[in-house]
Every structure is written in structure tokens, then in C-alpha cells.
Amino acid sequence: MKLSFLIYTYFPFGGLQRDFFRIAKECASRGHEITVYTLRWDGDVPEWINVILVPVSTRNRIKRNEAYTEWVQASLRKQSKSLVIGFNKMPLLDIYFAADPCFMEKATEQRGFYYKFTPRFKHFKYFEESVFAPNQQTEVLILSPQQRTSFEKYYPGCGPRLHQVPPGISIDRKVDVIDKAAGNEVRSELGLTQETKLLLQVGSGFRVKGVDRALQALASLPASELEQCHYLLIGQDNPDRYLRLAKKLGIAPYFTVLPGRDDIPRFLAAADLLLHPAYSESAGYVLLEATIAGLPVLTTSSCGYAFHIEQAESGLVCDQPFQQQQLDSYLAKMLQSLDTANWSQNGLEYGRQDELYSQSAVVADFIEKFAAKKA
């Protein structure tokens, strides 16, 4: 088959981007012809994929999205028919992989009254409706029960088109025994002692990931506890705002930021706790990657994959609506219980489920069945 994958930008360190890449690779391995329409591609382009850079130059996000969609639509009309799979909400799609949360939920519950009169609201509302509205036929692959609840609330009747798929954890992230040697090597590189409690956060887009919440929680610790901790943030974003906040809170010596990288398993082996108090996230793969690596997790229920933490009993999940005081309390509690709780062993046991690593195959199966049915 000819498959056209639509994604605004590709870079190696985003959860959405990793899902896209694995699914495209699985489809290519089955003999399908893969063409990707994108505005930007960072990194090497494998030989099994045809990347088309859409020539849109405007920096205005709304105009950029609209121009991208128009250009891709015109391009698709000139070519032999292909199945269109999108990784961002937009018109044109046969199948949408829902890596983003429901826009209307965020606009209604997290924005002020006047936001609904802005061009931004009208644009993203239209693009979301082009996928989920009752008159649409796009099939949607969702990542969590939380997404189903949100989309069905704001788009009644879309339920039959929503199909939950398993997580897309790479099989090479599966851990049988924690690699303490790799962890010790990382600590040595960071200049940390074995006694230091290393709090790790991984993710691009620091604002949405709740880095400000994490810094506030770190600052709430008693001085004696804080002196034994170090908070390491790894991700693709500008850290200046958060370095200033850490300085303002008086915790700058206990905070380090590193850019996105490929050797995250080494850091999971080195850390004592994964801290991920995100504001909103459809999935949150790092929660599962930490769990199956035996790293206890502290997160928020606004993350789609938080339910895995509860099922695995591999950490604690803050309630909704979020309260900073609860995060502060949970952080202190977990730091005091690291040596006695079973969070680490529970996570390793949870990671033995084969389903956790099957997303790309399941999605490729769905694409093939959809294409056969459509034909």
C-alpha cells in the first residue's frame, strides 16, 4: 500500500515522534510505501522512508498549520491514492493517532471566557472538529481511557471510532535487573555521590511537563532532606525560565538541566525517583519506561499513562484537581520510603507484560484492516 504520514515536525526526542517513527518503520517492514509530509525533520532520514518537506515559511502557528494542510491536500490530489495517517489533528485524515489531549477540554476547563473569541481557539476547534465531529469518518487511535472520556464528552457519538492501542515502549527498554554499574557511571559523570537521592524528570516542553511544580516541590523539602537530593531535568526546550525560578527559590545548587539525548536508560538506572507532575499529557511514555526499569514514579492523574502507575503500584499519583501541597507531601513521603517500599520491584514485575511493547504491530494491523475494508 501507499501510506502518507502527516506530522508537523519530527525530532528524535518526543514521545509523539517516537510513536510515529516506530509505526512507520513497522509498516515499511511489511512492504508498504511510506511518504511523510512534514515541516521540519531533525536527524537522519532512513532509506525506507520518503520525506517531503512542506514549503511553508510563516512563523504564525495558525497560518502555518493552514498552509501546511492546503499544500499537502493539493499534493495528494496529484498522486495516486494513498491512505492518510495523521499524528496531529487536521482535515484530510483517514486515521488519526491521538497523541494530544482533547483541545476543547483544555479550552473549556483551563482557559478564561474570552479565549473562545480568539483566532487560536477558532483554528484548533475547527481542526479538532474535522476529526471528531459527528459528520466525520476519521478513525482515531487513542492511548488511554482518559482520552476516551474526554473526546466522548465533547464530541458525543464519536465513541465507535475510538480505538485504544497499547503503549509503544521499545522492547530494548525492558529491564530484568537494574544496571547498577551504568547508574554509578552516570552519577560519576554528574559529580554525585552514591548517597545523593537523584530525582529525574525527562520530557520536552518544560511548561506542560510541570517543571515549575517540580521545583516548588523540591523547595518545600526540609533543608536537611534537600541537601541530600539533586533534581536532574533532561529534555528539548529552553531552560532559562526554570533556572531563574530555581535561583529564586534558593535551590539552584540542587538543579541541573541537560538537553534531550538517546541514552535515557542509563539515567533511569542512576535515579532514585522519577518526578513528572505534568499539567496535561495524553500518555507520558517516560512513566512506563521508568516503571519497567524499576524506578519509582511520582506523577499527576492528568497524564494518560498514570493509570499504569496505579495498576503496577510503582509509585504515587496526585489527584485532580492538582494541589501543590499534595505533590510536596508525596515527594517527601516517597523520599523517606525508598528503601522500604516495593515500588521498584513492582515496576520490574509489571514490565514483563508483552502487551506493553506491541503498539507498532497493533497499529500496522489496524491500518491494513482499515485499508482492506475501505477497498
- Measured CA to CA, the distance from residue 224 to residue 24 in angstroms comes to 50
What local confidence, expressed as pLDDT, does residue 309 receive?
97
What local confidence, expressed as pLDDT, does residue 13 receive?
78
What local confidence, expressed as pLDDT, does residue 62 receive?
96
Q: Are 198 and 271 within 8 A, CB to CB?
A: yes
What local confidence, expressed as pLDDT, does residue 280 receive?
87
What local confidence, expressed as pLDDT, does residue 110 receive?
83
What local confidence, expressed as pLDDT, does residue 127 receive?
98
- Measured CA to CA, the distance from residue 247 to residue 325 in angstroms comes to 21
Sheet of 83-86, strands arranged across:
49-53, 33-38, 2-6, 83-86, 95-97, 139-142, 162-164
The CA distances from residue 331 to 54, 197, 291, 354, in Å, are 45, 12, 17, 31
Q: Are 242 and 203 within 8 A, CB to CB?
A: no
**Going from the N-terminus, what domains does the chain have, and what CATH number goes with each?**
2-166+358-374 (3.40.50.2000), 171-354 (3.40.50.2000)
What local confidence, expressed as pLDDT, does residue 299 receive?
98
Kindly give the pairing relationship between strand 273-276 and strand 197-202: parallel
Name beta bridge partners: 274: 200, 297
Helix ranges (H only) for the chain are 15-29, 61-77, 103-110, 119-132, 145-154, 180-190, 211-219, 223-226, 240-249, 264-270, 285-292, 306-312, 324-337, 343-350, 359-374
Cell numbers for 206: 518544560
Cell numbers for 232: 536532574
User: By CB neighbour count within 10 A (0-12 exposed, 13-18 middle, 19+ buried), where does 205 fall?
Assistant: middle
Cell numbers for 257: 538541566
User: By CB neighbour count within 10 A (0-12 exposed, 13-18 middle, 19+ buried), where does 281 fall?
Assistant: buried
Name beta bridge partners: 10: 41
Predicted model pTM: 0.85
> Could you give the angle at the alpha carbon of 205 between the alpha carbons of 306 and 256, nearest 5°?
95
What string of pLDDT tens digits covers the 375 residues of the chain? 999 999 999 998 788 999 999 999 999 999 999 999 999 999 999 999 999 999 998 989 999 999 999 999 999 999 888 999 999 999 999 999 999 999 999 999 888 999 999 999 999 999 999 999 999 999 999 999 999 999 999 999 999 999 999 998 988 889 989 999 999 999 999 999 999 999 999 998 999 999 999 999 999 999 999 999 999 999 989 999 999 999 999 999 999 999 989 899 999 999 999 999 999 888 899 999 999 999 999 999 999 999 999 999 999 999 999 999 999 999 999 999 999 999 999 999 999 999 999 999 999 999 999 999 988
Contacts with 89 (C-beta within 8 Å, 6 or more apart), sequence order: 96, 100, 103, 124, 127, 128, 130, 131
